Structure 1
């Protein structure tokens, strides 16, 4: 039986890390990707000194996937984005003087968490897939190294905290008085966008973590463990999560936010959370 994913490392300085991951996840470790190996493996997690990346195999495979916070669209959005006028800020309730503690229960590659942290919120990111967690943790570490010369980025990263755990277990472990202000859900959805750039992310994530078939069960759990609201990000035409109508919606061109309000956010709030 073929293994859909393996680790690949041909850098001596990264080999110990690769060997540790291979042992931890019981995955094969390749020193080079040989032709006879490609047909048996769908993806390789490439462990290199500069980054850890997920790469699909095959002649026409798209480029590698990695968590990135210091360049590209994510960094551009931090520097030139819409600030508190962005739809995600309105959905979560971020405004001048109000910076809720957000629990991102479906962290993925951390893009939305990063946006929320740039806007001033403390964000706890939960990711259950060990491989996706590895990509995200690597991206955060590289960003922290880069941020030694960027005080503004350093402050943003200080507000981001990553946990590898199933969100359901994490939420059930919370006690009253220790609930996050806002719980943010962006569960995997099979037909989300049509652009090739997102398709490669979806293909990789579907292989690794599936389509979040248990997402419906996460909503009532989130509603029972948030102080003020639960926010669900969905493709614009996707069905309601758990078939449960929200208090109100914010709709964009390709996605929407379903907001489930529990009580009104205070006029001033800067909760760093109990990490």
Structure 2
């Protein structure tokens, strides 16, 4: 099994000085990428796990960086305008690399699958945002389910390739990882003094201690489910590569902070 090296593979695309000088490049969705890598390595697609992981990381980075683009106006300072423009260009650049890398690998079918996933992600984000802005925000648990579904949708583009004995396990674990990540986002945004932002935090008052306690309890619940499902994986899947994910989420729940790793 090849080691997980998506961060190193994407660095040459995300590490440009111009982009990093004017833009905060979002962190890679490490948990989802590790999950994808582990399942691809356990399938007959192991030879292409690196290119699939790299293009998915770039696509997710492009989506995340576009989420950070704020409306501008004629009165904004030059530095703010340049940062906003570079966020748009950086997201577009990452997307173009996705097309280039998959086309070079002859994976035209996956270009179509992942392009459909991107359209679904953007539509779901807009629908959720409009609901919240119109005062119809879902309750916390429903919101987390929707946020997790948005996180998982791009990775669901690989269902067609993982079709077979591993598919039910993949489709079980991916939503749970998305839930864990969604709660971690909320915990980070609810941190007093945090500049973090999520759909809910954009329109609500910063989280109270009680809400952070609620989120921590939910994260522990989801982490236990994740740990249990990982341990139930068949032997061909490298469970040892995934168990640290549960440990990191459990640690995040205990300290009510960010996942490092």
Superposition TM-score, scaled by structure 1 size? 0.29
Identify, as 1 or 2, the structure richer in strand: 1
TM-score of the superposed pair, with normalisation by structure 2: 0.30
